[in-house]
Chain A
Amino acid sequence: MSKQGLKGWKEIPEGGTVEEPGSSAQFNVQSWRTYRPELDKKKCTKCGMCWLYCPEAAIKILDDGSYEINLTYCKGCGICSKACALKAITMVKEEKS
């Protein structure tokens, strides 16, 4: 968040409460990442263990029951790739394009 985006004390809610639930979703953690998970949908059997183990809730369930990794929130820890018994998720190093 930029410095200009911060509110003064007169504008913040009383008691410093946060009024919007789950507002941390506005924060982008992409820059934390060294390795990027890549999901091979052909190998995926939709067992869901990556989704259950992901600390970030960065794995989405699509309407057809398949899974998709949301890279905005992925910190690249690699837990999903280890949890995947079929090795459908591989960790690829992030490089400057």
Chain B
Amino acid sequence: MSTAFRNIKDVPKEEYLAPGHRLCAGCTAATAIRQILKVAGRDTVVVSATGCVEVATSYFPQSAWKVPWVHVAFENTAAVASGIESAMKALYRKKKTTERVNIIALGGDGGTFDIGLQALSGALERSHDFIYICYDNEAYMNTGVQRSSATPYCAATTTCPPGKMSSGKRTEKKDLVAIAVAHNIPYAATATPSYPFDLMNKVKRALDVEGPALVHVLTPCPTGWRFDTDSGIDIGKLAVLTGLWPLYEVVDGVTKLTVQVPKREPVKKYLEIQGRFKHLKEADVAEVQKRADMLAAKFGLGPVREQVQA
């Protein structure tokens, strides 16, 4: 396998997520999982927390996974992954096998930000050699769009509906990568399947590194974010181009931007194509823009492009 993914020729042709899974049409989480598994290859164990991907890919008696796959409850994804890693270590020690195995723990934003956070924190602290991937669709989409602590400011969900007194969720999204970096882990990064080579390079680096790694992947969800099924990839790109989802990696505590945005798009462009932000007033949009500006200043993104008046 080549060390870096620069163009389409570097991407392995093998598929490890079979077609026929029951994820919604246009689900970018499936795109992300396909790209991740292409990098990881066949010597991989996937531990998957309850969530959209888990439910939709393991419809008994069928399974979409072509790699060994364990289903676990919401709260113990990282704990089971640490167990598998320790078991592999015991096998190496007893000389039962020499094969190196990639261990991937996969959780949604509910299973990572809310329910699985203590197990994740424990596993990162114990420094197990595994990679944790959080596919973040910014709410509990599997059970019908309830708010999670990954839901962004002002987004509407069924449990934080907008109305006269409220404009959706009032609080900000948790900074998962910062939480992970606070454990002094060697590698953490943000990614999105809209930038496939960036995502695949990050997963490759995360797999290569000794010790725990975390990749936080933004996966736009047509059902919960309320947009057309064909726009998922474009919305992921807009999230990056507006500065709301800066793509960076933190290697041994040093933050490095991987995709620079010289001219940012105004956040209005990102908000107006999603139904969950349909209720926003001018003041709310200005507030979101302010938050994007703060993120941009933190990561050194470019200034906002002047809006061309038609």
Contacts and interface: CB of A to CB of B under 8 A. Distances in A.
B86 to A, nearest CB: 21
B30 A78 contact: no
B85 to A, nearest CB: 21
A52 B8 contact: yes
Interface of A: 7, 12, 16, 18, 20-29, 32-33, 47-49, 52-58, 61, 70, 72-73, 75-79, 81-83, 91
Nearest to A75: B25
Contact of B25 (A20, A47, A61, A76): A76
A21 B59 CA distance: 12
Nearest to B197: A52
A70 B15 CA distance: 14
Most chain A CB within a 10 A radius of its CB, from B13, B20, B30: B20
Interface stretch (B127-135, B207-215, B228-236): B228-236
Nearest to B42: A21
A57 B19 contact: yes
Contacts of A61: 13
B261 interface: no
Contacts of B174: none
Given A53-B196, A54-B31, 17 more contacts: A18-B58, A18-B62, A20-B62, A22-B64, A23-B61, A24-B18, A25-B64, A27-B59, A48-B11, A55-B29, A55-B31, A75-B25, A76-B229, A77-B27, A79-B31, A79-B230, A82-B231
B89 to A, nearest CB: 24
Which size class do B's interface residues fall under?
Answer: 35 or more
A77 B21 CA distance: 14
Contacts of A82: 230-231, 233-234
B151 interface: no
The SS class assigned to the B binding surface is loop
Contacts of A91: 230
B35 interface: yes
Interface string B23-56: 1111111110011000000000000000000000
A47 B228 CA distance: 24
Contact of A79 (B15, B18, B62, B232): B232
B63 interface: yes
B193 interface: yes
A92 B62 CA distance: 31
Contacts of B27: 55, 77
B8 A58 contact: no
A16 B60 contact: yes
B201 to A, nearest CB: 14
B67 A55 contact: no
A33 to B, nearest CB: 8
Contacts of A53: 31, 193, 196, 233
B62 A24 contact: yes
Most chain A CB within a 10 A radius of its CB, from B19, B21, B34, B62: B19
B65 to A, nearest CB: 6
A73 B230 contact: no
Given A73-B19, A76-B25, A7 B57 contact: no
Nearest to A78: B230
A56 B229 contact: no
Given A53-B31, A54-B31, A61-B13, A22 B60 contact: no
B141 to A, nearest CB: 14
A55 B30 contact: yes
Interface string B273-288: 0000000000000000
B173 interface: no
Nearest to B35: A52
B15 A21 contact: no
B226 interface: no
